[in-house]
Amino acid sequence: VFDAPIDLSDLPGYQAATASRPRTAFLGRCSTKDNQDPRSSLAGQLADASLLLGPGEVFVAHFWDVESGMLGLDERSQICAEDYARLGVPVPRDGGLGELLEAVERGEVDRVACERIGRVARDMLPSLQIERHLLSRGVPIDCANEPQGGMTTGRLTTRRSAQMQAEIGRHELMEMSMRGQRQHAANGYRHGPPCYGYIAELDPDAPPPAGRFGERRPKMRLALHPDGRRADTVSQVFGMRRLERLGDREIARRLARDLDLHPLAEGQAMWCGRQVRRMLAQPKYTGYQVYGRRAGRQRRERPTPISAWVWSRRPAHPAIVTVEEWHQTQLVAAQLRASRSTGWDRVHAAAAARGIALLPVRENETHTVFLAGDRQIVLPRGGLPPVVADEVIALLEAGR
């Protein structure tokens, strides 16, 4: 107590300090609806956060999301309001984390209350960023599982420990999940949508998952598509690359000439080089299940080294090509990529030696028109085959 030694209430300007009631907003989050029941989880979070309210105080707004706390800040609150309405969560919703930050910027919120700091984010860095951003606007975050009152150091010790544990728990969950995914693939079960030429079918011999609650995901394996033309198409595509050394676009053009023999997949408008390239790189056509060819989430996925791929312990479904044929196809593809790159390098080197700059002036889906001095040269887009490179170099050397 730091009161004055005498009563000073009769002095001009004296005013008794009164505490105004803050406008408190609720912030909640639970994982996807497949992993948690958002109806019970969010209702329980709201009940715990309500313990932070004073007598007669109510939340001025409710902000919550049903999504992973491992998402980046730019990926949060992306689900539309209609989808949230179908969940039937008995908690009003004024938006998610993004809308909360907007409300703070408009000065509509004085305090944020949540069950625990892990509901803000699972990773420590985004959690600290949100906390610091709100504090810079004069809006504190209070958590129901932290000590209230007393000194700031006690609350910070609890909060920082909770943030650290949330991130460690996140990595622990990811490690266990990845271990399960690797074993799932090693046992030959399907990952992702079936590739062209296959369908997914239930494995009646798979043992049921033990100790799981909620809806059980059935084990599935790949099987040949009922339309045998698709498997034949895959086999021919590998043959055209391996034996004829054709590029992706030329193979796609051959397929497009006879759609009766080479039917399109569901939702596929036409054959294109990208689809052919993906087909030729797919190791599942060998009959083995393969997992981990790409790492990361959604748009940030990146290729992983072949040595890090997880292969099933034995063939898991009918093969369309042999492992040796797939291996040879990858070698031919690498040789074609190297030769095309070398072709462009040789052409540019020949032009530079004669003081000529190859300048692209226009292009379409298949070719690009280059201005070379006072001449125009039409070259295929993408890679440059060695034969074409030799012809262009001969023209440049002849001065024509």
Provide the whole-model pTM: 0.59
**Cα 378 to Cα 359: distance, rounded to the nearest angstrom:** 11
Helix axes 273-281, 248-257, angle to 10 degrees: 110
Instruction: Give pLDDT tens digits for 6-64.
Output: 888 888 877 766 667 889 999 999 887 556 678 888 999 999 999 999 888 999 999 99
Considering just the CA atoms, what is the radius of gyration of the chain in Å? 31
Q: How far is residue 121 from each of residues 19, 127, 276, measured CA to CA in Å?
A: 31, 5, 41
**Cα 223 to Cα 109: distance, rounded to the nearest angstrom:** 56
Picking from 122, 204, 184, 192, the residue whose alpha carbon sits closest to that of residue 310 is 184
Torsion over CA: 373, 377, 380, 383 (sign): negative
**Both 273 and 303 in a single domain?**
yes
**Both 162 and 38 in a single domain?**
yes
Residue 348 located in a structural domain: yes
pLDDT at 216: 60
Residue 255 located in a structural domain: yes
Per-residue tens of pLDDT for the chain, all 400 residues: 677 888 888 888 777 666 678 899 999 998 875 566 788 889 999 999 999 998 889 999 999 999 887 777 777 877 888 888 888 889 999 999 999 999 999 999 999 999 998 889 888 888 899 999 999 999 999 999 888 877 888 888 888 888 888 888 878 877 887 888 888 888 888 888 899 999 999 887 776 655 444 456 678 899 999 999 999 999 999 999 999 888 888 999 999 999 999 999 988 889 998 899 999 999 999 999 999 888 765 555 678 889 989 999 999 999 999 999 999 999 998 888 776 666 777 777 777 777 777 777 887 878 888 888 778 888 887 667 777 777 887 887 776 5
Q: Do 27 and 64 meet the contact criterion of CB atoms below 8 Å apart?
A: yes
Burial of 191 (0-12, 13-18, 19+ CB in 10 A): middle
Q: How far is residue 308 from each of residues 39, 83, 285, 325, 333, measured CA to CA in Å?
A: 40, 38, 19, 21, 20
The structure tokens listed for 10 are 């009769």
**Both 317 and 385 in a single domain?**
no
**Both 127 and 258 in a single domain?**
no
The structure tokens listed for 395 are 């023209």
Number of domains in the chain: 3
Residue 300 located in a structural domain: yes
Q: Do 190 and 222 meet the contact criterion of CB atoms below 8 Å apart?
A: yes
Residues whose CB is less than 8 angstroms from the CB of residue 154 and which lie 6 or more positions away in sequence, other chains included: 147
Q: What is the CATH number of the domain that holds 387?
A: 3.30.920
Answer with the one of 321, 354, 380 that is the final residue of a domain. 321
Q: In sequence order, what are the beta bridge partners of 358?
A: 372
Position 89: which residue type? V
**Cα 165 to Cα 144: distance, rounded to the nearest angstrom:** 17
**Both 149 and 95 in a single domain?**
yes
pLDDT at 212: 45
Full residue range of the structural domain in which residue 355 is found: 336-398
Q: How far is residue 147 from each of residues 47, 152, 155, 157, measured CA to CA in Å?
A: 17, 10, 6, 10
**Both 302 and 371 in a single domain?**
no
3-state secondary structure of 202: strand
**Both 273 and 383 in a single domain?**
no
**Both 295 and 342 in a single domain?**
no
Residue 369 located in a structural domain: yes
pLDDT at 269: 87
pLDDT at 33: 55
pLDDT at 296: 65
pLDDT at 1: 60
**Both 98 and 44 in a single domain?**
yes
pLDDT at 342: 67
Answer with the one of 271, 287, 321 that is the final residue of a domain. 321
**Cα 115 to Cα 253: distance, rounded to the nearest angstrom:** 59
Q: Do 25 and 61 meet the contact criterion of CB atoms below 8 Å apart?
A: yes
Q: What is the CATH number of the domain that holds 57?
A: 3.40.50.1390
